[in-house]
Structure 1
Amino acid sequence: MSRLPTADIVIPVLNEAHVLRKSVETVMAFCQANLPYLWRVVIVDNGSTDGTQNVAKQLVAEYDDVQFIHLHQRGRGRALRHAWLQSKADVVCYTDVDLSTQLVHLRELLDSIVYGGYHVSTGSRLMRESRTRRSFKRELTSRVYNVLIKAVLFTKFSDAQCGFKAVSRKAIEEIVPQIEDQSWFFDTELLVLAEKQGYPIKDIPVEWIEDDDSRVKIMQTAWEDIKGILRLRRLLWSSRWSERRAQAPVADADRR
């Protein structure tokens, strides 16, 4: 009998004590009912100063399928990098703790990696089939940002910053160590480096509902993202990138 595939569902958190238990138990209930995988939920706290650690430790004590990682330094990218690189699962994904992306899409996200032949998949709020509820400001910012990425970096994926992504073990080992950003631009850098190294990216249209309690500072994040885009452009035009591509261990045709 073939073994079940394994999956780690990572939830990065920063001062989320008020929603952490509800979100984790919601994810667990969905996984138990819908995923034909051996799965676990991995909470990664990166620098919380509220009661997040206590809630996470309580969940670990109550549930065998919950793991907790505590990092002293902040940064969503740092949290994902740490959890993904130490994971031994066949496929690793993440979702934001507010569960803005509806969990009904989680199985498709994972299946595209395990059974669909992809190594990277991402939720998209910008496809025709997507359904979103968010403010005009956030909608406009998101669309402008993704147009900018396409114009500057010549990418094909539709939504760089949706907090709902899955990556294969192979892609983690090859791509994640190359990512420099430790914060919000981590997502974009992951997709750009994957695509430029021959990994087709599966865009999955999702239903996404804005969290009214979101603490993301749009303008500050946008400025950091622009700097990240320009850094990647310099990399892609450099001799260092040509050398990296020449040393890539797998031909593009073998990545699906």
Structure 2
Amino acid sequence: MHLHSDERQGRGRALNRAFKSSKGEILGYIDVDLATDMKHLSELIQHIRDGYDFATGSRMLPESNVKRPFKRGFASKGFNFLTRFMLGSKLYDHQCGFKSFRREPLFKLLDDVRDTHWFWDTELFVRAQRAGFKVREFPVDWKHGGATKVNLMRDVFGMGSQIFRLWYEFLWD
């Protein structure tokens, strides 16, 4: 299936649209730059077959093999620390673009995820943990792909504000 949009939707909105158009029982996505070594693809799917509801590759586990610029790694560690600290997540890497899902649990959460851009998968996985779904994080080999649409200053501020938005929402939950 091919979906096209003439306007920029943002990562989260595009993924929402794709998943809602899908037919499979196991759904997933990988970043287009193939930064995560594809030798992990069968493992990504197998975690869902083994009973997990959500699975994600991780660049932050000790067994992970990662090559990335210092500046990006530093920003990522800060973001993940804040997410763990403020939102109670147990994951070490929320932003690795290598994720799979069981259809039913994913669809139970999709409409609750408010972010439509880079924070989308972080919010999804935090909500999955809070809802009691089985989440698996596993180490991957990952190499920085070079070209990126991430603007470090703009996106760090934007994602930081999303952490605070979700934290505030959970305060009243």
TM-score by length of 1: 0.66
Aligned match of 2:77: 143
2:163 aligned residue (226, 229, 251)? 229
1:98 aligned residue (29, 33, 38)? 33
> Counterparts in 2 of 1:11-30, with a 5 A limit?
none
Give the match's secondary structure for 2:76: helix
Q: Which has the higher strand share?
A: 1
> Counterparts in 2 of 1:31-70, with a 5 A limit?
67-70=1-4
Radius of gyration: which is bigger? 1
Give the match's secondary structure for 1:68: coil
Aligned length: 172
> CA separation in 2, counterparts of 1:93 and 1:231?
26
Aligned match of 1:188: 122
Give the match's secondary structure for 2:132: coil
Letter in 1 for 2:121: D
CA contact (8 A) 1:85 1:172 kept: no
Give the match's secondary structure for 2:23: coil
Aligned match of 2:16: 81
Aligned match of 1:3: none
Letter in 1 for 2:74: L
Deviation at 1:93, TM superposition (A): 0.5
> CA separation in 2, counterparts of 1:95 and 1:184?
14
Q: Does 1:176 align with 2:110?
A: yes
Q: Does 1:165 align with 2:94?
A: no
TM-score by length of 2: 0.96
1:113 aligned residue (34, 40, 48)? 48
Aligned match of 2:59: 125
What runs of 5+ residues in structure 1 fail to find an aligned partner?
A: 1-66, 242-256
Q: CA RMSD in A?
A: 1.0
> CA separation in 2, counterparts of 1:151 and 1:111?
30
CA deviation string 1:218-252 (max 9, x = no partner): 111111111111111111111xx3xxxxxxxxxxx
Aligned match of 1:209: 143
Give the match's secondary structure for 1:235: helix
> CA separation in 2, counterparts of 1:218 and 1:95?
21
> CA separation in 2, counterparts of 1:128 and 1:169?
30
> CA separation in 2, counterparts of 1:232 and 1:121?
21
Q: Which has the higher contact order (CA 8 A, sep 6+)?
A: 2
Aligned match of 2:153: 219
Letter in 1 for 2:73: E
> CA separation in 2, counterparts of 1:197 and 1:102?
30
Give the match's secondary structure for 1:93: strand
What fraction of aligned residue pairs are identical, expressed as a percent?
37
CA contact (8 A) 1:101 1:207 kept: yes
What runs of 5+ residues in structure 2 fail to find an aligned partner?
A: none
Deviation at 1:215, TM superposition (A): 2.8
